């Protein structure tokens, strides 16, 4: 692993990297760059065919198909990583999903579907990656655990009850874990993107100010990971105001964000 401050885009040595959510959006843009730069990259996503297409022509790729919401699947991938890589210099837990809640038709199942990959999937990834990060540390490296949260974790927004809460939970979890891992010499970086053009955000039905491309996002993330930044957030002209709004008193936050909410649809009555 390069020392902190080294440039991951430069030829500073091969890293052993695990990347989840590798076949789409930000994950795909990261995967192609990391593979092209010669790192040994374990690629994880749900669909083996998509992984095969992504890894084609790269003998430094290891395909680990899995469903991050399935703990057994993630732990099995960790066992394969141990066999093939021995240790991990960098784990990027990037897989996730997004659904928006309609409060007039409250759906607990939707909340559970979002939390499964966004929060628990990342927790399973941490469980699988930590022994391998510890091996890299024992070898003299400075391993890094990173996960993709969202700028939505900074500020409550309309319809984001499930998505925002899952990302806020992830950010809190990893910030706490960072404190406990510091004594072991394992660093933790959180990634808080604003809007990024991906197949997931292409489904959004609202304006997405200052949206950046997946390629721009990947470059910002790699620069942040090279520096072991605690909080990798971009584009800053969007994320910095959100961070500032997030620390305002609740009443002020409510008044500022209330106008973003849609008029409620008529509630649907149910009978038993």
- Number of domains into which the chain is organized: 1
Q: Give residue 75's pLDDT.
A: 98
Instruction: Please check the confidence at residue 35 and state whether its pLDDT lies above 90.
Output: yes
Residues identified as active-site: 163
Instruction: Please check the confidence at residue 186 and state whether its pLDDT lies above 70.
Output: yes
Per-residue pLDDT tens over the stretch 108-150: 999 999 999 999 999 999 999 999 999 999 999 999 999 999 9
Residue 133 belongs to domain spanning: 16-258
Instruction: Please check the confidence at residue 194 and state whether its pLDDT lies above 60.
Output: yes
Contacts 24+ apart (CB under 8 A), 72-81: 74/121, 74/124, 74/125, 74/127, 74/128, 75/124, 75/127, 75/128, 77/42, 77/44, 77/128, 78/127, 78/128, 78/129, 78/131, 78/132, 80/42, 81/18, 81/42, 81/128, 81/129, 81/132
- pLDDT tier at 11 (50, 70, 90 boundaries)? very low
Instruction: Please check the confidence at residue 9 and state whether its pLDDT lies above 50.
Output: no
- Please provide the size of the chain in residues: 272
Closest CA to 157 of 112, 100, 212: 100
Give the three-state DSSP class for 107.
coil
Report if residue 10 sits inside a domain. no
Q: What is the DSSP letter of 80?
A: H
Report if residue 234 sits inside a domain. yes
Closest CA to 189 of 229, 240, 143, 236: 229
Q: Give residue 72's pLDDT.
A: 98
Q: Give the whole-angstrom CA distance, residue 155 versus residue 134.
A: 34
Give the three-state DSSP class for 16.
strand
Helices (DSSP H) in the chain: which residue ranges? Answer: 25-36, 48-55, 71-85, 108-115, 122-138, 161-181, 214-226, 236-246, 250-258
| Whether the bond into 257 is cis, omega within 30 of 0 | no
Q: Give residue 264's pLDDT.
A: 53
The mean pLDDT value for 19-30 works out to 97
Could you identify the residue written with the tokens 């990173």? 146
Q: What is the DSSP letter of 239?
A: H
Report if residue 2 sits inside a domain. no
Tell me which of 6 and 199 has the higher pLDDT: 199
Report if residue 271 sits inside a domain. no
Which phi and psi angles does 258 have, rounded to 5°?
A: -60, -35
Instruction: Please check the confidence at residue 1 and state whether its pLDDT lies above 70.
Output: no
Report if residue 141 sits inside a domain. yes
Per-residue pLDDT tens over the stretch 84-98: 999 999 999 999 999
Report if residue 4 sits inside a domain. no
Report if residue 272 sits inside a domain. no
Tell me which of 134 and 246 has the higher pLDDT: 134
Per-residue pLDDT tens over the stretch 62-71: 999 999 999 9
Give the three-state DSSP class for 3.
coil
Instruction: Please check the confidence at residue 189 and state whether its pLDDT lies above 50.
Output: yes
Report if residue 71 sits inside a domain. yes
% of residues, the chain, pLDDT over 70: 90
The CATH number of whichever domain residue 38 belongs to comes to 3.40.50.720
Q: Give residue 261's pLDDT.
A: 65
Q: Which of 8-12, 32-36, 238-242 shows the lowest per-residue confidence on average (mean pLDDT)?
A: 8-12
Closest CA to 161 of 107, 241, 93: 107
């Amino acid at each position: 692993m390069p020392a902190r401050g080294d440039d991951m885009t430069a030829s500073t040595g091969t890293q052993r990297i695990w990347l989840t959510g590798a076949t789409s959006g930000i994950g795909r843009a990261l995967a192609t760059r990391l593979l092209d730069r010669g790192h040994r990259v374990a690629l994880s996503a749900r669909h083996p065919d998509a992984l095969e297409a992504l890894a084609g022509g790269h003998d430094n790729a290891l395909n680990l198909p899995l469903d991050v919401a399935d703990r057994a699947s993630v732990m099995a991938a960790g066992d394969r990583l141990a066999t093939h890589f021995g240790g991990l210099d960098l784990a990027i837990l990037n897989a996730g999903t997004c659904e928006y809640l309609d409060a007039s038709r409250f759906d607990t199942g939707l909340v559970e579907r979002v939390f499964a990959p966004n929060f628990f999937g990342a927790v399973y990834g941490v469980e699988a990656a930590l022994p391998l990060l510890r091996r890299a540390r024992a070898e003299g490296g400075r391993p890094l655990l990173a996960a993709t949260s969202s700028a939505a974790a900074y500020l409550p927004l309309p319809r984001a009850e499930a998505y925002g809460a899952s990302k806020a939970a992830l950010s809190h979890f990893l910030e706490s874990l960072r404190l406990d891992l510091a004594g072991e010499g394992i660093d933790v970086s959180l990634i808080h993107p604003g809007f990024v053009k991906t197949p997931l955000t292409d489904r959004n039905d609202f304006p997405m100010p200052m949206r950046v491309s997946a390629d721009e996002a990947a470059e910002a993330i790699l620069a942040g990971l090279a520096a072991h930044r605690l909080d990798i957030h971009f584009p800053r002209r969007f994320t910095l105001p959100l961070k500032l709004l997030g620390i305002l008193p609740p009443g002020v936050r409510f008044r500022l964000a209330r106008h973003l909410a849609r008029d409620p649809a008529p509630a649907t009555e149910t009978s038993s």
